[in-house]
Amino acid sequence: MKFSISALLGRKNTVKVTAVNIKLHGKIHTLPGAQSSSGFLDVEIPFTNKPNQNILMFQAQKKKPERITSIEVARPFVLVGATPKTPIEVEENQKVVFRLRIELPKYSYSGPVDVEMKTEDPEMVHVELSKTVLVRGGKSVEVENSNAIIMVQKNGIFQQSIQMYKALSHNDTVRRVLVPDPFKLVSTDPKLPFTVSDENSYIVAFYIQAPDHNYAGPLTIELE
């Protein structure tokens, strides 16, 4: 994020803004302060809804818009105007410049301005995996220490990295992977088809879509 600010001058009481702190998703982005005696600060916040470059890159569906529900300014400052108006949805890779007019205290003051951009929290599900089971040719193998408790966004993606020698042999090839409901396989790394080419170790990352509801039980991965 980049920020820019302009201060209007000309009031008797001097307000020195030491910094403008923008809070978004629990992180603070700091803009240099300014000195004003006019009574107002004009703040510009260019915001871009960037896609997550890690797990989300494996999603087949488009990322949901980022919903900015409101913008708040902490006392003793007062937000008197903001464009565009909230709530507003920002599509993936879309850029929006928020322009704020902030009323300053009517007395001499020196300190930061705290601005919070509130977003709509994603709905989360609780996934408790009792075990992970690999199935190959009618044979089932339980992966050691594969129990896990995961908090993930509804229909979000989580990763399971598994040593393939639990169920496969050297030079075995997997052309298809099935993950029964309520889960859905999104992708693997390496991509399908893959062959167990390393004699010592061959680890595959499975990127799996979580359900839209809480789940407790096993995760089954069928290899064909």
The whole-number pLDDT of residue 121 equals: 75
Kind of pairing between the strands at 139-142 and 124-136: antiparallel
Task: Reduce the DSSP state of residue 57 to 3 states and report it.
Answer: helix
Q: Residue 167 has which token pair?
A: 């169920």
CB contact set of 145 (below 8 Å; sequence gap of 6+) = none
Task: Reduce the DSSP state of residue 206 to 3 states and report it.
Answer: strand
The whole-number pLDDT of residue 66 equals: 83
Regions of the chain where pLDDT drops below 70:
1-13, 37, 51-63
d(CA 50, CA 48): 6
Task: Say if residues 170 and 188 touch (Cβ distance below 8 Å).
Answer: no
Task: Please tell me the number of Cα atoms within 13 Å of 74 on its side-chain side.
Answer: 10
Task: Say if residues 3 and 22 touch (Cβ distance below 8 Å).
Answer: yes
Task: Reduce the DSSP state of residue 207 to 3 states and report it.
Answer: strand
Mean pLDDT for the chain overall:
85
d(CA 172, CA 165): 10
d(CA 215, CA 126): 6
d(CA 80, CA 112): 18
CB contact set of 1 (below 8 Å; sequence gap of 6+) = 22, 24, 29, 45, 46, 47, 48
The whole-number pLDDT of residue 12 equals: 58
The whole-number pLDDT of residue 120 equals: 78
